[in-house]
Chains A and B, each alone.
Chain A
């Protein structure tokens, strides 16, 4: 079962020093593809967000420790409203990926000083977001879309962790 290793993952494409320019790893076509996919998720943000969280907490039970204050049973309104917040934040940011550092500044502060979620967990949620997108999009979530989305979510996670220390 996946747990967070003490050492940083060798496969994290983004480190502290490169995350500021992480979005430069995306081509114009990839940015458009990412924005288009997230735009479709906005009307179903609660469903998609709840599913991502549920997949993460079922596959990686250690992540449940961050939700002791919520009802995280399948279908719970807490899960749906929290999932919706996450999906909308990711979708909003995808509309202007080049401005990621500015758009995410408040969320950076929130995660660093208040939530203090160990950043290794971001990767676990990102993976479950990819699985959710694949389950809903089928063949449309082809390798090119997958690669673009993985890069975007990695950059998003790296920026979110920027203020931790």
Chain B
């Protein structure tokens, strides 16, 4: 089981409390598709992803970004058992969506950077470390049911 210090829990909660899921979700997912264009392979049905501007204005991408953030909120609310909380999501990503689990890390890096841009230097090194620990547990849980 993952051990969380009080400081880590506080940092992660504080970060989430500052997030507008619609705004951050859209920014994070669109950034991932722009910075790592091969991730667009999973979004063939999402319409126009032709260039950065199209991606940033795509309403289906924005909506999906919100879905991703809501999924992360579930992990936040179950920090002591993220693995089991995400069991079904892991099966979904593996068996239905066929997402290469390496891509989870790319999206989590983009989310970290979007949050850094939003919070500025209040996103301290300690906050970054706590948040990235949270994201690495999430990423690991999402990859757990792959076989």
Contact = CB atoms under 8 A, between A and B. Distances in A.
A108 B125 CA distance: 29
B113 A146 contact: yes
Interface in B94-147: 102, 105-106, 109, 112-114, 116-121, 123, 125-126, 128-129, 132-133, 136
Chain B at the A interface: SS class: helix
A2 interface: yes
B92 to A, nearest CB: 22
Contacts of B106: 11
Interface residues of B, number: 29
A55 B130 CA distance: 11
Contacts of B114: 134
B117 A58 contact: no
B116 A135 contact: yes
A55 B125 contact: yes
Interface in A109-165: 127-128, 130-132, 134-139, 141, 143-144, 146-147, 150
Chain A at the B interface: SS class: helix
26 contacts: A2-B132, A9-B102, A51-B125, A55-B128, A58-B129, A59-B128, A59-B132, A127-B112, A128-B128, A130-B109, A131-B112, A131-B123, A134-B113, A134-B117, A135-B117, A135-B123, A136-B120, A136-B121, A138-B120, A139-B117, A143-B55, A146-B31, A146-B34, A146-B113, A147-B35, A147-B52
Interface of A: 1-2, 9-11, 51, 54-55, 58-59, 74, 127-128, 130-132, 134-139, 141, 143-144, 146-147, 150
